[in-house]
Structure 1
């Protein structure tokens, strides 16, 4: 029974179950016991394929984003990992616009999430947005890690750092600037990505 449970079929069942659970509640933490029960495998079998909860989550995110964004630049191995990650991060910044468009966007964020007294509802809404940004960046880092372009380490921590950089850059797009915003932004993105690609933690 253990041999059968540790085959490719059980791995696929675990991934399908975890992806279904993620689809039902993207904010939920994927519990090993709950996923194993849903997949109809033992927790030992699940751990055979995914030794840590992080490994399971990374595999689920990779599956989700392969479906959602199959043409994502992160998969273009003809370009260096650094350039691909920077291009992906720019995708996040692009909708914010520059100048008036960026000011309007941040004004709306301020009115919705900062100015009013926090409620459970607006806190949950903001955290859901933040989680999705974090998960997307973690996915890109996982792809680069699988290719060997990124040292083993804590991708959640690296993603938090990059999301914080993106938040700062999007605010900078809304503020008056003496220098070229795009030149400063490019320099900052290069420094952040170089730090992450060279980091071991």
Structure 2
């Protein structure tokens, strides 16, 4: 196995063991059995390493990820990806059950170090996925390559709000209003006139 592949395998194993792990140069190099200089040669920054590992993980587990279909407009692909997250939460009773579980696990208990750590892990996995989508779109030129943290937080906040809305009783078409909101959010993140 080539050095680059050994590094990626070691980093992926570390993420599989603990999604909240920080891929430090020393830890990944030690696990891969390479020098830190060799790791830096292949991945000059921790972000470059993390981005490549996440790309491979998502390509493996979600081979038909809509974000990769560059024949479609960026905003439609981003909305489809956001819609996938909401689909996992369900609608009506299913959404109420999901939010009840979140409440019981993270809101009802005293915010101990254990609860905070568990929530940060949950939040980090979600943020990494959204950041991955934005990175793919940035690589295509649909938005500037920048610190995506504010945009990721915005999109996660929109998703949280919409998932709560799915759990609440409503007389209107939740899905129609949700789609409109997702397009507004995508446009805000991508900027007007996005491809």
| TM > 0.5 | yes
1:58 has 2:47 as partner:
no
1:186 has 2:189 as partner:
no
1:57 is displaced (CA, Å) by 0.9
TM-score by length of 1: 0.83
1:86 has 2:79 as partner:
yes
- CA–CA separation in structure 2 for the residues paired with 1:38 and 1:114: 36
Q: 2:160 aligns with which of 154, 167, 184?
A: 167
- Give 1:118's aligned residue: 111
Unpaired segments ≥5 residues, structure 1: 1-7
- CA–CA separation in structure 2 for the residues paired with 1:44 and 1:80: 40
1:69 is displaced (CA, Å) by 1.0
Q: CA RMSD in A?
A: 2.3
CA contact (8 A) 1:151 1:198 kept: no
1:101 has 2:94 as partner:
yes
Q: Deviations over 1:66-103 (max 9, x none)?
A: 11111211111221111111101101001222233322
- CA–CA separation in structure 1 for the residues paired with 2:21 and 2:124: 11
Runs of 4+ that moved beyond 6 A: none
CA contact (8 A) 2:139 2:145 kept: no
- CA–CA separation in structure 2 for the residues paired with 1:38 and 1:105: 37
Unpaired segments ≥5 residues, structure 2: none
Q: 1:141 aligns with which of 134, 137, 144?
A: 134
Where 2:109 maps in the other structure, the secondary structure is coil
TM-score by length of 2: 0.85
